[in-house]
A and B are shown apart, each in its own frame.
Chain A
Amino acid sequence: MLHIKNLHAGIEDKGILKGINLEVKAGEVHAIMGPNGSGKSTLSSVIAGKEEYEVTDGEIFLNGENIEELGPEERAHEGVFLSFQYPVEIPGVSVTNFVKTAINETRKAQGLEDMPASEMLKKIREKAALLEIDRKFLSRSLNEGFSGGEKKRNEIFQMAMLEPKLAILDETDSGLDIDALRIVANGVNKLRSKDNAVIVITHYQRLLDHIVPDFVHVLHDGKIVKSGTKELALELEEKGYDWIKQEATI
C-alpha cells in the first residue's frame, strides 16, 4: 500500500528526514516511535502532502503510484488520512457540514454523485455512536472551543466517515484521558480491515496497548534506526530512548 524509499525531506534548507525506508502493507498496523525532534510529525506531514516541506530525495509510492506531484486533497482522494496533532478551529462551519463537504468533494474527485442525504445522515449517526459522540457536538463549529480530547475524538470521527485506505494517527493519544483513549482506540480498531492500513505515531506505549501494532519502528534524527515487533515498544517504555540513540551513533 505505502512504500517509502530513501526519503529525504526538510523545511527551508533544514534537512529533517534523512533516508527513510518503510513499507506498509494492507491490513497492517505500524507504530512509529521516537524522541522529540526525531522527525515523526514531519514524516506524517510529508506523506499527507504538506507543501512547506520539500522532498529532496527519495520517493513515496501509494498503491504503486508515485505521489510526489499530488496535492494534499488529491492524496486524500486516493485514501490518505492524517489525524492531526493540533486540529484547526473553523468557526461558523459545523462538524456535520465540514464532514459532508469533505466526503462529497472526495466523491466528486472520484466521479461520483454527492452522497444522498439520508445515507449521509445514517452514516453520521452510526459513526457518532461508535465514537460515543453526542449529537449536539456535531452541530458545533469545527474544533472551536473543543477540549483536547474532543478534538482528537473528532479527528477519529472524520476518519470513520472518510474510511481511508491509509490512516496516519499523529500523537492521537496526547491530551486523552483513559476513557477517551479507550473510545478512540476502539473506534480505530473497528475501522481496521484487511484492505486498509494504519500508522500510529506516538511517544508512549499506552496507545499501543489498545491499538496493537504488527511492527514498531524507532525514528531518530530522521532515520529509522530500529524496527521490530510490539515487544520493541515495551522495551522502549521500560528503558527510554537513550540506548537507541547510543546504538545509533556507534
Chain B
Amino acid sequence: MTGSVRDPLAGIAVYTLFRGEQSQLLQWCNFHLNEGADRLYVMLDCPPAELVSALPTDPRIRWDVMDQRTWDSLYPPKSQNVERKQVDGLWSTALRAAADGHNYLAFVDADELISLSQPFAEMADRFRDASALTLPVREMWYARSDNRTEPFGATLAVRAPGARRVNVSRAFGWRAQFLRNGLLGHDAGKSVYRLPMAEGEITVHRPRTGRLAALTVDLPHDSAEILHFDSGSVATWNAKWGARLQGDTVASGLGPQRLAQQQLFSHWLHQPPRDQESFFQEFFSLDEDAQRLLADEGLLERVDVRKMISSPLPPDTATDTSLVQLPAADRVDYQFALVCDKRFVKPTFATMTTVLAQTGQQGSTRFVVLGDGLDRNDVLHLKSLEHTDFDVRVIVHDIKADLDRDIGTEDVKRATFGRIYLVDYLPEQRTIYLDGDVLATRSFTELFELDLGGACLAGVPDSAALRLVANPAGVPVEQRNRLIGITDGDPLEYLNGGVLVFDLENPDFRSLALHSRALVVMQGRALKQRDQDAMNIAFAGRKFHLDSTYNYMTQFYVSDRCLDGDLMRRKYDAADATLVHFSGKIKPWESLEDEFYNGLYRRLVTNAERRVGVSCGFYFSTPAPRARHQWAADRWAQVLGSRAGEPGNREPVADIEVVDLSDEGVYLTVSADMYELASARDLRLAARVLDTTLFEVSFDGLTPPRAHLATQVKQGIRMLPCDLARALAICDGVARHVELVVTDPASEGDTGFVRPIAVVDVVAAGASATPHLLDELGADGALEALVDGWLSGWYRPRVEGADEPVSLYIDGELAALRPPEHPRPDLGDGGRIRGFRFNVERLLRLGYGGTSRAVSVRVAGTNIPLRGAPLVVSDPSRNLRFDPARDRWVKAALQRPSVERAARRGWSTAVRRSRGLMSKEK
C-alpha cells in the first residue's frame, strides 16, 4: 500500500507527542513528509537540551518543547499521565492548526505511520460530513532478516483477525498468550480530525462522545491503515519499557495483556544486553512458517518503509543505542515459592512455618507467595514470619487480575493454576515450589545443590502414575490414556505438582515455563489437570525424578487401592518422609477426626509453631504471642502502614470541568489541587475561536462552591464571572467552535501551550441568544406549560440517544441542570425527543433569582434558550401554557392538555422506573 500513491497525505497535518530517541523522531518526520503531509506538529515532552539543540529546521515542521515547568503550571501533579498529555496536546494543536489554515489533523504516536492507498483528499471528499476518520491498525513484526536496530526496520504488517476465528497459537506459539485480538498493541485505531474539532471527548485512539463520536467514520483496511511499530528497535524497546518499570513514564490503565507483557519484559530488562537482544529477536520476529500461516489467512503483508525514512531530514548519527540493564534482585540462600487463595492462607502459612523451622537456621530465606484475592490481613499474617528470629523475607504478589484474565472466575480452586505465573515473579535462582498442604519434617536444603543433570524441573511421579504402573487394570481407561499420551508412553514421567524444584538458573527453564503457561492460557480447558498437565507436557525430556521422600502423598497411601505388593512396600519405606503432602480431599485442618495423618499434621504444625514462635491460627494451634509484649516498633509500623495512603473507593475527580455558560459567567467544578494551582500560578480561563481570544479571566474571581446547587446540579459548582455578552460582541453575539482553555500568563495568543478543557459548537449571549440558533445547533426544544408550579417542556438532542442536559435559569442565575428523562412518543421523531420538568415554584420560594423572575431553559453549555423562554413568573400558582403559534404564554385551560397528561405519565413512569418499582421497560 505505502508508496503506491503520490503524496497521499496531502491535505492532512499530523500531530504527535514525543518522548524518546531522536533518530526515531526524524525518521517518523521523514516518512510523513515524503508522503506529502502538509505540516507536522511535534510536541516534545520534557526533551533533553541536547535533543532540542539538534533539531533540524524545516518549514513544514513545527517543534513545540513542553518542559516540566509547563506541565506543572497547568496540571496538578496527580493529573499528569501520558494519555492526558497526548489528548490535551491534540486539542491545543488543533487550535493552532486550524488557525494555520489546515482542515484536517491526524493524531498518531511516534511509532505509528499513516499509510493510505488513495489520496486523502478523495476520502475527505467522500466523507465530507464526518467529524473524524478512524484508521485501522496493522502491527509490524520483524522477519528474520530485518534490521532490528532501526525503529522502523520491521517489514511484516499483520492485521487483527477481527471477527474471524483464527488459530493464532499456530503462528505465534507461546507468544500468543500475550496477544489481544491477535495483536500485541492496540487494535482501536487512530483518527484524523476535521478542523475545527467538533464538541465531544476523545481518547488517544478516537472520539468517545458528543458530535465528534456521532459523526466519526471508520475506514476499511483497503483504504487506509496505521502501521504500528510497537516493538521499535531493541534500543527503543529497552528505553520505553525501562522507563515504565522505573516509573519515569506514567501510563494509566494498562490492559491485562499489556501488564502481562510488562511482566515478561521486566525479566529480560534485568538481563545483560546480549540476552536482551536475543530475546528481542525471538519475541518480535516471525519465522517462515508463521508468515505463511498468517498470509494464508489474509492477515499479513510485506511493507518496507526504509526508503521513506532516511530523508529529507538528516539521520541522527550520534544516537546512544546502548541498552540499560535494570538491577537484579538480591540472592538468598534458599528461595521457596507458594500459591494460595483466602481459603489456604493458614495452611500455606503452616507450610512456610514448618519449612522455616527445619531450614531457617541454615541461611537466608525468601518466600515468594502468589495470592489470589488476599486481603490486607492475609498478607500481614503471611509476612509475620519476618518478625521471627530467622533471616527471612516474605514477598506476596497479587495475581487475581492474571487469573481473571487467563483462567476466568468459575473455578473456586483456580489459585493452584497460579503456578504458571511464578516465572514472572521469581528472582532468578533455584526455587522449590510447595503446595499449601505440604509440611516439612526435616531439612531438605540438599535439593538446592542437587545436580539435575541438565534438567530444568524436578519432582516426584504423581500417585496416578504410580498406580498405573503398579496396577494398570485398576486405572480408568481415560486416565490411563491421558497419562500415556502426555508422557509419550512412560507414565512415571508424569510428575506431581505439589513439590517441584525449578532450576531457574538453567537457560532453558524460562522458555519451557512460558510454553507451559501458553498451554494453560490457550488450551487450558482441554487439559484435565490444567497446569499440572501443561507443565508435564512443556517440560518433557527435561525432568528429573526425586525420591518419594520429597513428596509423600498421603491420599495415595490411605487409598483402598494401595493394598499390596510394591505399593504397600513403598508406603512404609517412604513413610519417614521429608516432605509430607496431605493431598486428600478432606484436609487435616478441617477434620477433627483422630486419624493417623490428621494427627501427624497437627503434631508437625504445633512443633513448628513453638520452634518459630508464631501461631498458624488453627483450632489446635499454639496461641499467638501477645502483640503488646512481643512486637517491636517496626512490626507496629508494618501493620499500621499497610493501608496508609491507600486511595478510597471514590471515583477520581476531574480536576476541572465546565458545567455551563451564561451571560454572567462560566459554571465550573474545580478540584482542590487545581484550585490551589490556579491561585498559585495566576491561571486564566480563556475562550478562543481560531486565533481570536473572546475573553480571558483570572481564576481569582472564582466563587466558593455553591452548596445550594449540590442537589439541583452537582456538588462543588463554582462560578467564574465574566461578561459573555461583551466578549461575544465582536462576533455579533454568536460564536462558533469555541474552545475553552486554561492558560498561564506565559501563554500569549497561539504561541504557548494552552490546556483545553471544553469545546462548544455554538454559544450565544445577550440579545443574540435566541431559539433561532437551535437549528444551527442541530437541536430543538420548547417550554410547554407551567402547571401547579411545575415548568414542563421537551428537548431533542443534537446527538441521537445522548444524555444532553438542559439548564434552568432564573433571572440569569443557574438553578438546575439535568438531562430530560422521559420519552415523548406523542411528539414523534422516532423517540428521540424527551421531556423535562422543573419545580419552578419551589425554586422561587427558595430564593433563586431576583425581582423580575424571568425563567428560561437552555441547552447546557451553549446559553441558547429553548422556545418559549423567557417566561416571567409573577405568580407561580397561575397555570400557563405556551402557544407556539402566537409565540406567547397564555392562561392554561382547566382541562390539562393531552401533552401535559402525557408528560405527567411519562414523568411518573420515569420516576417509578428509577426507583425500581417497575418490572420491565414499556
- Tell whether A and B belong to one assembly: no
Give residues in B with beta carbon < 8 Å to A: none
Interface residues of A (CB under 8 A from B): none
